[in-house]
Every structure is written in C-alpha cells, then in structure tokens.
C-alpha cells in the first residue's frame, strides 16, 4: 500500500473518539473478567490516547500488518495491552472473537503483547524501561531505509525511574531523530505509590528538553488537545525528537479507581462489575481530586 493509497486517518470526530475510548474501558472490564485479573487503572488512563492514535492518527494497514512504511507503535508500558488488543481487533487486524479466550492456555493474547503472535504488535513489551530504546532503533532503521514512517513509544511515568530510558533519550537527541515520538502517560502513580514519593520524575518538560527533545504537555484525557498535538507533529527527518507529556489520571472513568493504589491489578465481580460498567457507559464525569 502506498502512502497516497493509505491516506490520512485524522478524520474522526471527537464524539466518535470518545466512544472508542469508552469501548476500550469496557473491553478492559470484559477481558479482565475472562482472565480473572487485569490491569484496569493503567489502561483506563491511556484510553483517550489509544483512541486518538489508532482511530485518528497512526498510518496503518490492517490488511497488511507488516507494511514496510507503516507507523510503528511501541507500548513500553506493556501491561496496558489489554486495552490495545480490542482496538486492533476493531480495526480488522484479527477477528474480535480471538479475544474470547484471553490469557487462556493456547491463546496468543497474554497479559503482555507478543509481536510474533499478534498482528499489529510491533514489540513484545512488558519489562519496563526497554521501549524507548527499541523505538529509537526503529527510528534509526527508518532513516537508514529512507522511509517516512514515525515511531511512537508510549511510556508509563513510573518506568521513567529506569536509567535505560534516559540513555535512549540522550541518544535520540544526539542522533536528531525527529521521527521518534514519545508519549508519557503521566497518570501520577506506579505500583509502589505516587511517582513523586517513590522517586520524583519532575520536572519532565525541562528534563526531556535538556536531552534535546521538543516537548509539549497536554491534558491526556482531552481529545481535542490530543488530536491537535498529534496533527502538529513534524514529519520524520533530521531534527529534535518529539515528546508529549500527557497528564492523565490513573483509573480514569471509574471514580473509586481514580488515583487509587488498589486497582493496578484487580478483578471486579457481581454488582461491582455491573456498577463499573454502568459508570463507564455514562461517560467521563468531571474529575475531583480528593484532599490528601
């Protein structure tokens, strides 16, 4: 498929993208019930980012998953794959029914993604801290082959404690990889606690800027802001790599999960499951941060 044939996917309304973000949260509930446990809150924080990227921005071809000039997407926070699998199925990379035995013996779909088994997955992630280095390599390869694709890497804020992230950030600035786009899901919590108490990662804008990146900070649940930021990205080429710090809320969409340390991994059953489903169906409500 040529670039012209593939066309520009950035043509969906915010209402449509909001419905897709809702779909991602609901499917995360459903698949977690099948598995018996799942990563709710880390996936909920990324729902709008997944929706904007996959339905409104990335250059992909589900009929040709290995298209050489497709955009690459590295989910460095691989535990959020439970929210990405339904998106890929919805786009046509594989039948949605493939997810009905999620994590069961013999299923290709585990808690973390496997690039050798799942069409549309560009990297087998899960061990935190590796993704930006892999995306860096993909971006260098694209330059060497004179391709025009961008390479996107979604990072968790907790994994920014890993030194390998900053080695990759330094290399990206040095090699002027403008086609490398980092996205930090800044949901404020890691499994061990608030990021700023475990090991402070701020000031992120200043830190990435000092490594030679162009950095923008946005509301990671505001689809208008996300889409405008993605649309303004520079094309692959020689220049400063590009970083989006997306301020999000871990567990966004289910009030009692929001900024709670209790729901990094969990399993809702009975009325709890039904209540969470109903709350997500109702759409995002204004976020109210409780006093410490």
* pLDDT tens, residue order, the chain (292 aa): 444 334 444 457 999 999 999 999 999 999 999 999 999 999 999 999 999 999 999 999 999 999 999 999 999 999 999 999 999 999 999 999 999 999 999 999 999 999 999 999 999 998 899 999 999 999 999 999 999 999 999 999 999 999 999 999 999 999 999 999 999 999 999 999 999 999 999 999 999 999 999 999 999 999 999 999 999 999 999 999 999 999 999 999 999 999 999 999 999 999 999 999 999 999 999 988 765 4
What does the pLDDT read at residue 11? 52
CATH class of 11-281: alpha beta
Q: Output the pLDDT for position 2.
A: 43
Q: What is the pLDDT of residue 242?
A: 98
Q: How would you class 289 by CB atoms within 10 Å of its CB: exposed for 0-12, middle for 13-18, buried for 19 or more?
A: exposed
| Residue 154 Cα distances to 25, 43, 79, 95, 194, angstroms | 18, 12, 12, 25, 19
Burial of 159 (0-12, 13-18, 19+ CB in 10 A): buried
Gap between the Cα atoms of 133 and 150, Å rounded? 15
Q: In the prediction, which pLDDT does 290 show? A: 66
Q: How many CB atoms neighbour CB 140 within 10 A?
A: 17
Which residue, chain included where needed, has tokens 């162009």? 214
Express each pLDDT in 237-263 by its tens digit: 999 999 999 999 999 999 999 999 999
SS3 label, residue 291: coil
Q: Taking the CB of residue 291, how many other CB atoms lie within 10 A of it?
A: 3
> Residue 252, CB half-sphere, CA atoms under 13 Å: how many?
28
Q: If 0-12 CB within 10 Å is exposed, 13-18 middle and 19+ buried, where does residue 41 land?
A: buried
Tokens coding 107: 């299923």
> What is the rounded distance in angstroms from the CA atom of residue 248 to the CA atom of residue 245?
9
Please state the φ and ψ torsions of residue 23, each to the nearest 5 degrees.
-55, -40
CA distance 289 to 258: 9
How far is residue 253's CA from residue 24's CA, in Å, rounded to a whole number? 11
Indicate the DSSP class of residue 181.
Answer: E
What pLDDT is attached to residue 169?
A: 98
């Amino acid at each position: 498929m040529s670039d012209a044939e593939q066309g520009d996917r950035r043509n969906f309304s915010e209402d449509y993208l909001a419905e897709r973000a809702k779909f991602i949260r609901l499917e995360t509930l459903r698949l977690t019930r099948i598995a018996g446990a799942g990563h709710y809150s880390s996936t909920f924080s990324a729902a709008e980012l997944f929706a904007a990227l996959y339905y409104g921005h990335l250059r992909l071809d589900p009929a040709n998953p290995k298209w050489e000039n497709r955009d690459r997407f590295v989910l460095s926070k691989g535990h959020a794959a439970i929210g990405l699998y339904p998106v890929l199925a919805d786009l046509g990379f594989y039948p949605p029914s493939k997810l009905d035995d999620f994590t069961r013996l013999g299923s290709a779909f585990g808690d973390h993604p496997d690039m050798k088994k799942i069409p549309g997955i560009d990297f087998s992630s899960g061990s935190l801290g590796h993704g930006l280095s892999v995306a860096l390599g993909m971006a260098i390869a694209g330059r060497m082959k004179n391709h025009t694709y961008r390479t996107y890497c979604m990072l968790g804020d907790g994994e920014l404690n890993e030194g390998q992230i900053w080695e990759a950030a330094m290399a990206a600035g040095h090699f002027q990889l403008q086609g490398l786009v980092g996205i930090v899901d800044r949901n404020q919590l890691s499994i061990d606690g608030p990021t700023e108490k475990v090991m402070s990662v701020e000031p992120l804008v200043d830190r990435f800027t000092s490594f030679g990146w162009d950095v923008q900070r946005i509301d990671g649940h505001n689809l208008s802001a996300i889409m405008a930021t993605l649309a303004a990205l520079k094309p692959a080429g020689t220049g400063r790599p590009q970083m989006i710090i997306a301020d999000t809320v871990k567990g966004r969409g289910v009030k009692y999960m929001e900024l709670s340390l209790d729901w990094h991994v969990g399993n809702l059953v009975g009325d709890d499951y039904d209540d969470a489903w109903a709350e997500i169906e109702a759409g995002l409500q204004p976020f109210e941060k409780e006093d410490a």
